[in-house]
């Protein structure tokens, strides 16, 4: 939660000769930490309680790792042996000097941007704060507690489990949570995570480990100022369209006394044009809210990627008195309108994002935290993940509600890439308490976060929570819980959730960011009926995978917006080797089960179920890993293309999930090290602006042209039928007109029409859209699951050359090659294409992005196809 780009200068009394500038002093260096003496974990672990160097921002676990006191939390099954850390109390301390000049300032504030989570702060022995919310910023006036010379700052962190579990065990019931601990530190069904504003995923999830981090997880500093503080600078967008933008530059000023100031706001457009507005303002002692109206003709609007440029305006404000500038700030934002369109139609009630008047089909994925320990996530790492999303033709990411609100740098990068962000508030699915104190700290958290983030044009939705409503209504453990407690308590809990998510958070967004839609829960109908229904609102679909239903059942649901669905896979072998030894390389090994969090490790059997249904039996562990990725990629492709083909009935596909929090099995398409799985390469194709989609059901194939273009275009549908061994059996072409922002049905063809007597086990159909003779979309169709096909040996061949702009790998196949995978071992290079099928006689050029020479690449390179991974030959 690093600060927005506000540069603040203190206000000086009118008539003085010079302005006293603020002093901002970083207090992130020089910290020490220790295990709190006398704690049970300290005694049990025989852990030292001496003071040691600490890294701030950081966490206890990363501090211990840096000192070599623990092993890598992600290595093998180390997780189990490190749970004591989250059960212990920890102390942090800092000694720092303050000079007499600093103490003469009107105000000195100690600012913590984030404390995780129950933290008592004292300065020179004086208690200043008892923090209880990881997601809040804490500003403490400390001038009276400081003295010249050395000062001592102490922060004591209490384990949330040690603090809350004794209280919870005395209560008549425990609220239903998410995932019970696998390590015995909390009794089954007695989860404390519901009752504290801390990142839910720290308690463990079905894709990540249980590490209850503690520490100063965001920067800390001293801010010294005199009579005025510019607390916030916001560009409120009252109206933005093609002709005009009417905005208010809003300043929040904290003044010690009344006085008149001049406020000037200068704006600069992306093309360099600029303008200035000024006004005189009389301030009162205390809080002041100043608005400067600005009109911009024909604004260069911010557009999502694929629809235009993500244009950004720069705004600069100065506050002056007596000719001297006494405060100033900068803000960068994009001018755009966003609407969540909820029109009623023949299918129910829609759910579509409309940006600048253009209905956008949302293509993307869900985003989880980048690491178990958020303080070690760099800006470069966040930007790399966002580039992976953009490069795969995604235009939206859902920031899931069980993690943390991201750094400003994350949203800045999304703004500049044109990526839309669906932003959940941080409620991950557990049932929330209804007491006023919990609701109030949540409200303040929301005020701070919306205020911090509201100028980012990438944020197109605020959602109250993830799965709280649908869980309350339909999950078996919640149904049992409602039977256990009395009806009055059920009503109080239900009313409490509706108050928090239906009113409190909605009001925060409505008051502070009215140009951004609010949605009470995901999935939901915004408390306008039952959650998670196909004909209204957004929809999470988990009968495939969690319910073990066949992948083909993705075709049976057509919701208005599918905001979650997914299939698991393992990461590539290079990533697996980063957490496992050679002896661990089997699906049911202790280590592989430890890095498979679904169903406490049994998820690997679920993977094998789907692999066997679609492909057959893997011949070894690397083949199991490869086949898991093939299954995931082809399954999600089927679902995503079905959703795109159903436009406008469906207007969004966000699969679960884009990224990983640690290396292991999960639903991610990009692993912990930002290595692309097969799914990410498939997504680049199935999320392309133009796609040709053949969907085969019950022996009939319907072919669609899907277009995100904003204008119609003429093309040709080419259909080629091949014998897998290499013979072209038939070729047909016909012209078509693809409608803008639409899915156009092109043909309905039964198997007999396509095959004309050919053997379905040995036949493949290629559909291509050609525009002016160039292929703009390509898709293959098979007549059954891969295990039922007579796949030939493709006789793959490769060659490597230097194009003058980098290395290019050419891969060719004599006969049909299914699911070709190019593996570069431990080399961290990016391929322009991978995880593709090759028709008989076809070749493809793959550009290599990365610093590697040809000989090194040749040595590391291996290429395989589906038939290489199966234990038995196909029929």
Distance of CA 204 to the CA centre of its chain: 17
Say what the pLDDT of residue 40 is.
Answer: 73
Residue-level pLDDT at 46 = 67
| Cis-peptide into 617, omega within 30 deg | no
Please compute the mean of the pLDDT values over residues 733-744 and round it to a whole number.
97
CB atoms within 10 A of CB 745: 11
SS3 assignment, position 208: strand
Q: How confident is the model at residue 38 (pLDDT cuts 50, 70, 90)?
A: confident
What mean pLDDT value characterizes the chain?
A: 95
Name the CATH superfamily for 228-333: Immunoglobulins (2.60.40.10)
- What is 796-869's CATH number, 2.40.50.250, 2.60.40.10, 1.20.950.20, 1.10.10.10? 2.60.40.10
CATH numeric code, 344-472+506-686: 3.20.20.80
C-alpha–C-alpha distance, residues 314 and 308, integer Å: 19
The tens digit of pLDDT for each residue in 199-242 reads 999 999 999 999 999 999 999 999 999 999 999 999 999 999 99
Characterise 554 by phi-psi region: left (phi > 0), alpha (psi -120 to 50), beta (else). Answer: alpha
The strand pair at 118-123 and 90-98 is best described as unpaired
DSSP 3-state of 681: helix
Structure tokens at 53: 């160097």
- CA distances in angstroms from 655 to 43, 127, 582, 841, listed in the order given: 46, 47, 32, 34
User: What average pLDDT score do residues 367-394 get?
Assistant: 98
Evaluate whether 108 touches 146 at the Cβ level (below 8 Å): yes
Give the CATH H-level superfamily of domain 690-784.
Immunoglobulins (2.60.40.10)
Q: What is the pLDDT of residues 758-816, one digit of tens each?
A: 999 999 999 999 999 999 999 999 999 999 999 999 999 999 999 999 999 999 999 99
Decide if 228-333 and 690-784 have a common fold.
yes
User: Taking a C-beta distance cutoff of 8 angstroms, is the pair 111, 139 a contact?
Assistant: yes
Burial of 805 (0-12, 13-18, 19+ CB in 10 A): exposed
Q: How many CB atoms sit inside 10 A of residue 278's CB?
A: 12
Using one digit for the tens of pLDDT, what is the confidence trace for 425-484?
Answer: 999 999 999 999 999 999 999 999 999 999 999 999 999 999 999 999 999 999 999 999
Q: Which CATH number fits domain 23-221: 2.60.120.260, 1.25.40.10, 3.30.1010.10, 3.40.50.620?
A: 2.60.120.260
Per-domain boundaries in the chain: 23-221, 228-333, 344-472+506-686, 690-784, 796-869
For 350-368, write each residue's pLDDT tens digit: 999 999 999 999 999 999 9
The H or E element that residue 770 is part of is: strand 763-771
Q: How confident is the model at residue 707 (pLDDT cuts 50, 70, 90)?
A: very high
Residue 104: closest CA among 168, 148, 41, 153: 148
Q: What share of the chain is helix, strand, coil (3-state, %, to 5)?
A: 25, 35, 40
Q: 72: which DSSP letter?
A: -
* Contact yes or no for 514/530 (Cβ under 8 A): no
- pLDDT for 742 equals 98
pLDDT at 511 over 70: yes
* Model pLDDT for residues 616-638, shown as the tens digit of each residue: 999 999 999 999 999 999 999 99
Give residue-wise pLDDT tens across range 61-85: 999 999 999 999 999 999 999 999 9
Residue with tokens 């603090």: 163
Query: Is the pLDDT reported for residue 12 higher than 70?
Result: no
> Edge-to-edge strand order for the sheet containing 713-723?
728-738, 713-723, 763-771, 774-782
CA distance 236 to 231: 16
What distances in angstroms separate CA 317 from CA 258, 265, 276, 279, 324, one per listed residue? 20, 4, 9, 11, 14
pLDDT classification of 832: cutoffs 50, 70, 90: very high
- Strand runs labelled E in 342-498: 344-345, 348-349, 352-355, 358-360, 362-367, 396-399, 420-424, 459-463
pLDDT of residue 23: 81
- Closest by Cα among 134, 147, 337, 114 to 238: 337
Across 109-127, average pLDDT: 98
Q: Does the pLDDT of residue 3 top 50, yes or no?
A: no
For the entire predicted model, the pTM comes to 0.96
- The secondary structure element, H or E, covering residue 519 is strand 518-519
Cis peptide before 662 (omega within 30 of 0): no
């Amino acid at each position: 939660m690093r600060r927005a780009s506000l540069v603040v200068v203190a206000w000086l009394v009118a008539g003085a000769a010079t302005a006293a500038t603020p002093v901002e002093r970083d207090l992130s260096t020089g910290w020490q930490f220790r295990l709190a003496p006398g704690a049970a974990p300290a005694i049990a672990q025989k852990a030292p309680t001496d003071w040691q160097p600490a890294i701030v921002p950081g966490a206890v676990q990363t501090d211990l790792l840096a000192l070599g006191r623990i092993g890598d939390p992600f290595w093998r099954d180390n997780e189990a042996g490190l749970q004591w850390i989250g059960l212990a109390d920890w102390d942090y301390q800092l000694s720092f000097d303050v000079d007499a000049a600093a103490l003469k300032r009107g105000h000195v504030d100690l600012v913590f941007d984030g404390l995780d989570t129950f933290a008592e702060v004292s300065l020179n022995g004086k208690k200043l704060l008892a923090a209880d919310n990881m997601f809040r910023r804490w500003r403490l006036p400390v001038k009276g507690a400081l003295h010249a010379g050395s000062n001592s700052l102490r922060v004591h962190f209490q384990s949330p489990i040690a603090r809350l579990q004794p209280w919870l065990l005395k209560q008549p019931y425990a609220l239903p949570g998410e995932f019970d601990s696998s390590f015995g530190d909390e009794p089954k069904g007695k989860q404390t995570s519901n009752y504290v504003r801390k990142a839910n995923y720290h308690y463990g999830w079905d894709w990540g480990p249980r590490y209850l981090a503690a520490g100063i997880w965001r920067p800390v500093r001293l801010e010294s100022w005199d009579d005025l503080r510019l607390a916030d600078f916001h560009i409120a967008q009252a109206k933005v369209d093609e002709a005009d933008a009417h905005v208010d530059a809003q300043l929040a000023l904290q003044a010690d006394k009344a006085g008149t100031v001049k406020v000037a706001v200068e704006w600069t457009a992306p093309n360099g044009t600029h303008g200035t507005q000024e006004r005189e303002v009389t301030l009162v002692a205390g809080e002041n809210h100043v608005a400067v109206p600005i009109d911009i003709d024909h604004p260069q609007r911010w557009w999502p990627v694929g629809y235009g440029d993500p244009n950004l305006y720069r705004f600069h404000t100065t506050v002056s008195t007596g000719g001297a500038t006494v405060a100033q700030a900068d803000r960068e934002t994009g001018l755009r309108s966003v609407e969540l369109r909820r029109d009623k139609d023949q299918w129910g009630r829609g759910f579509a994002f409309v940006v600048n008047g253009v209905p956008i089909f949302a293509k993307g994925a869900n985003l989880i935290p980048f690491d178990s320990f958020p303080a070690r996530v760099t800006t470069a790492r966040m930007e790399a993940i966002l580039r992976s999303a953009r490069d795969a033709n995604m235009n939206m990411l859902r920031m899931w509600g069980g993690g943390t609100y991201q750094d400003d740098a994350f949203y800045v990068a999304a703004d500049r890439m044109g990526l839309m962000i669906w932003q959940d508030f941080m409620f991950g699915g557990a049932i929330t308490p209804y007491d006023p104190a919990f609701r109030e700290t949540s409200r303040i958290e929301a005020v701070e976060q919306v205020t911090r983030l509201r100028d980012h044009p990438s944020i197109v939705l605020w959602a109250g929570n993830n799965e709280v409503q649908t869980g309350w209504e339909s999950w078996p453990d919640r149904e049992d819980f409602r039977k256990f407690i009395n009806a009055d308590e059920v009503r109080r809990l239900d009313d409490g959730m509706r108050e928090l998510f239906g009113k409190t958070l909605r009001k925060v967004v409505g008051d502070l960011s009215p140009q951004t839609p609010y949605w009470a829960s995901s999935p939901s109908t915004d408390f306008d009926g039952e959650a998670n229904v196909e004909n209204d609102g957004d929809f999470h679909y988990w009968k495939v995978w969690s319910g073990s239903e066949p992948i083909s059942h993705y075709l049976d649901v057509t919701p208005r917006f599918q905001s979650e669905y997914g299939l698991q896979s393992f990461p590539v072998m290079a990533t697996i080797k980063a957490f496992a030894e050679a002896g661990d390389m089997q699906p049911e090994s202790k280590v592989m089960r430890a890095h498979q969090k679904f169903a406490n490790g049994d998820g690997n059997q679920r993977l094998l179920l789907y692999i066997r249904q679609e492909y057959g039996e893997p011949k070894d562990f690397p083949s199991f890993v490869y086949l898991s990725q093939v299954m995931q990629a082809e399954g999600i492709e089927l679902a995503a293309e079905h959703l795109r083909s159903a436009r406008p009935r469906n207007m969004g596909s966000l699969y679960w999930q884009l990224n990983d929090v640690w290396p292991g099995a999960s639903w991610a398409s990009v692993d912990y090290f930002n290595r692309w799985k097969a799914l990410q390469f498939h997504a680049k194709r199935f999320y392309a602006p133009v796609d040709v989609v053949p969907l085969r059901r019950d022996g009939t194939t319907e072919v669609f042209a899907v277009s995100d273009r904003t204008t119609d275009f003429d093309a040709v549908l080419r259909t080629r039928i091949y014998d897998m061994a290499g013979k072209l059996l038939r070729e047909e072409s016909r012209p078509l007109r693809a409608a803008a922002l639409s899915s156009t049905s092109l043909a309905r063809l039964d198997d007999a029409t396509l095959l004309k007597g050919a053997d379905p086990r040995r036949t493949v159909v290629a559909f291509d859209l050609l525009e002016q003779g160039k292929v703009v979309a390509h898709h293959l169709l098979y007549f059954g699951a891969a295990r039922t096909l007579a796949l030939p040996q493709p006789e793959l061949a490769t060659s490597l050359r230097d194009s003058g702009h980098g290395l290019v790998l050419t891969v060719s196949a004599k006969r049909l090659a299914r699911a070709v995978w190019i593996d570069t071992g431990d080399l961290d290079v990016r391929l322009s294409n991978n995880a593709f099928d090759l028709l008989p006689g076809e070749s493809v050029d793959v550009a290599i992005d990365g610093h590697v020479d040809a000989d090194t690449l040749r040595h590391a390179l291996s290429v395989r196809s589906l038939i290489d991974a199966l234990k038995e030959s196909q029929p």
